[in-house]
């Protein structure tokens, strides 16, 4: 036997198949989600509707009656489950900040401004690393080819290894800082990457110097600085 009951919101008559007691259904008119009452609930509702209305109070009683709390929320639905029904409404619009789109737009704009100097400095630092490695290998071959032996050879090889090794390590750290700047992750490492690109660690610094200065000028912009995570 189908179950008939009135919608608690719009009072529209709702009919659902038998066996759905306690489940939730949607009103076809106002689309409100509400539970399906059982037969016992239907009888209680009918008894409450048949009770006589309380006597009308006098005007003096209306004046001196206690006031209800201003934030009291009285539900018209007799089958509502406490006050969490509004939060369980699957048709409610998601509560998202209104400035999310603006924040994403500002972040994308900052990344696009930094993209050109970052990629240029990364390429020049990579070329500098390759140049330093080739120079180190060339120096070692020249020292060994001269046939020199003893302490002078060891000192020369150690000097070349420390000099070019330090330059390669510094340039590698600069590449890491520029990668952090590309993803707007670390503001301090971003500065370090552009500063290292401006250092004379290889012959490529002549080209990377103005590009790195351009990148540092962009980093000094407050609108770009705010987009970094740390």
From 194, 230, 186, select the one nearest 212 (Cα to Cα): 194
Task: Annotate 14-29 with three-state secondary structure.
Answer: EEECCCCCCCEEECCC
Give me the residue label for tokens 């020049």: 124
Q: Strand pairing partners for 75? A: none
The tokens for 70 are 């201003």
Contact 37, 23 (CB under 8 A): no
Stated pTM of the model = 0.54
Give CA–CA dist 230/21, Å, rounded: 55
pLDDT per position as a tens digit, 112-140:
999 999 999 999 999 999 998 998 888 88
From 187, 67, 178, select the one nearest 129 (Cα to Cα): 178
Q: Strand pairing partners for 15? A: 4
DSSP per residue, 159-178: HHHHHHHHHHHHHHHHHHHH
pLDDT per position as a tens digit, 177-213:
999 999 999 999 999 999 999 998 888 888 989 999 9
From 183, 215, 230, 203, select the one nearest 118 (Cα to Cα): 215
pLDDT by position in tens, the chain (length 230): 677 778 878 878 888 787 777 788 888 888 778 787 776 666 565 555 555 555 555 554 554 555 555 454 444 554 544 444 444 445 444 545 556 888 888 889 999 999 999 999 999 999 999 998 998 888 888 877 765 555 677 787 888 889 888 999 999 999 999 999 999 999 999 999 999 999 988 888 889 899 999 999 999 999 999 989 86
H or E element, residue 45: helix 39-50
Give CA–CA dist 69/48, Å, rounded: 25
């Amino acid at each position: 036997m189908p179950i008939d009951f009135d919608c608690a919101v719009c009072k529209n008559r709702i009919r659902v198949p038998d066996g759905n007691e306690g489940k939730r259904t949607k009103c076809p008119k106002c689309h409100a989600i509400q539970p399906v009452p059982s037969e016992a609930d239907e009888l209680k509702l009918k008894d409450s509707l048949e009770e006589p209305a309380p006597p009308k109070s006098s005007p003096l009683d209306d004046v001196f009656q206690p006031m209800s709390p201003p934030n009291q929320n009285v539900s018209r639905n007799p089958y509502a489950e406490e006050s969490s029904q509004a939060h369980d409404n699957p048709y409610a619009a998601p509560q998202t900040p209104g400035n999310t789109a603006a924040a994403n737009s500002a972040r994308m704009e900052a990344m696009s401004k930094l993209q050109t100097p970052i990629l240029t400095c990364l390429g020049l630092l990579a070329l500098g690393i390759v140049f330093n490695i080739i120079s180190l290998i060339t120096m070692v071959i020249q020292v060994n080819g001269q046939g020199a032996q003893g302490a002078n050879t060891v000192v020369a090889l150690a000097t070349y290894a420390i000099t070019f090794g330090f330059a390669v390590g510094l340039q590698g750290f600069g590449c890491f800082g520029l990668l952090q700047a590309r993803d707007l992750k670390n503001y301090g490492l971003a500065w370090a990457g552009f500063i290292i690109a401006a250092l004379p660690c290889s012959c490529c610094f002549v080209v990377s110097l103005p590009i790195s200065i351009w990148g540092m000028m962009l980093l000094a912009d407050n609108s770009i600085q705010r987009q970094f995570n740390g």
